[in-house]
Chain A
């Protein structure tokens, strides 16, 4: 089956970031494919390349990058949610006249259209929700 995962939660905010990662690994291990992972709301913080957790903790952004690389996952970050939280790629940094950009490699800023397309293409869409 084809899956899309939607992640609403920042890493280290709650258990959700870890659950989503475990679910993604289990999905791939079962032979399914993941069409897209869509990071929404506070989930956009997963794509912050400046994340620097203590060494004895899971580096959730790095683990996503690793999984994406191994399985050619399409990781899309909601652009509207990201820009207002200070997660910018080079293009957006220029547009908003910022001195730096911090979108981690392997992630792409894009719009909700990508979520709609993923929902149409996928057999299953699983949302990993976070605090309101």
Chain B
């Protein structure tokens, strides 16, 4: 079980693709900072194709005016909880 943390926006597709290749079914993908732009309706379809669970960092979505409806969201405490639940943590940037 690995927690993947992605902080790059959809304008940097390469990082997302590298991350996607490394995802396995029991992993979690956490979108933070500009990575939350992947939650925009325009890009949502890419996320729905992933077999891993996708979670967004709520304060970063709020800071960017991104709606989180129907997505799993966590606050900062939830971010910490995710790092406790996963034995491995990989940051993509």
A contact set with B: CB distance below 8 Å: 1, 3, 8, 14-16, 19, 22-23, 25-27, 29-30, 32, 124-132
B89 touches A126 (CB 8 A): yes
Q: Are A15 and B33 in contact (CB under 8 A)?
A: yes
B59 interfacial contact with A, CB 8 Å: yes
Cβ contacts under 8 Å, A129 to chain B: 7, 91-93
Known: A15-B33, A15-B60, A19-B33. A27 touches B91 (CB 8 A): no
With a CB–CB cut-off of 8 A, which chain A residues contact B5?
A: 126-127
Assess the B76–A128 pair: CB atoms within 8 A. no
A23 near B80 with CB under 8 A, answer yes
Secondary structure type dominating chain A contacts: mixed
Contact A27 B33 (CB under 8 A): no
Interface string of B68-86 (1 = CB under 8 A from A): 0000000011011101100
CA distance A1 to B7 in the complex (A): 24
Contact B93 A22 (CB under 8 A): no
Say whether, besides A8-B93, A125-B89, A126-B91, A19 and B80 are in contact (CB < 8 Å).
Answer: no
Give chain A nearest CB distance to B22 CB in angstroms: 15
Name the residue of chain A whose CB is nearest to the CB of B32: A19
Asked whether A126 and B93 contact (CB < 8 A) given A15-B33, A22-B59, the answer is no
CB closest residue in chain B, given A129: B93
CA distance A30 to B5 in the complex (A): 20
Residues of B within 8 A of A29 (CB): 77
Q: Can you give 29 A-B contacts (C-beta < 8 A)? A: A1-B84, A8-B93, A14-B34, A15-B60, A16-B7, A16-B33, A19-B7, A19-B32, A19-B57, A22-B76, A23-B76, A25-B76, A26-B77, A26-B80, A27-B80, A30-B77, A30-B80, A124-B83, A124-B89, A126-B5, A126-B83, A126-B91, A127-B5, A127-B91, A127-B93, A129-B7, A129-B91, A129-B93, A130-B93
B7 to chain A: which residues have CB within 8 Å? 15-16, 19, 129
Binary per-residue interface labels of chain B (38-73) against chain A in the complex, 1 for a CB within 8 Å, 0 otherwise: 000000000000000000010110010000000000
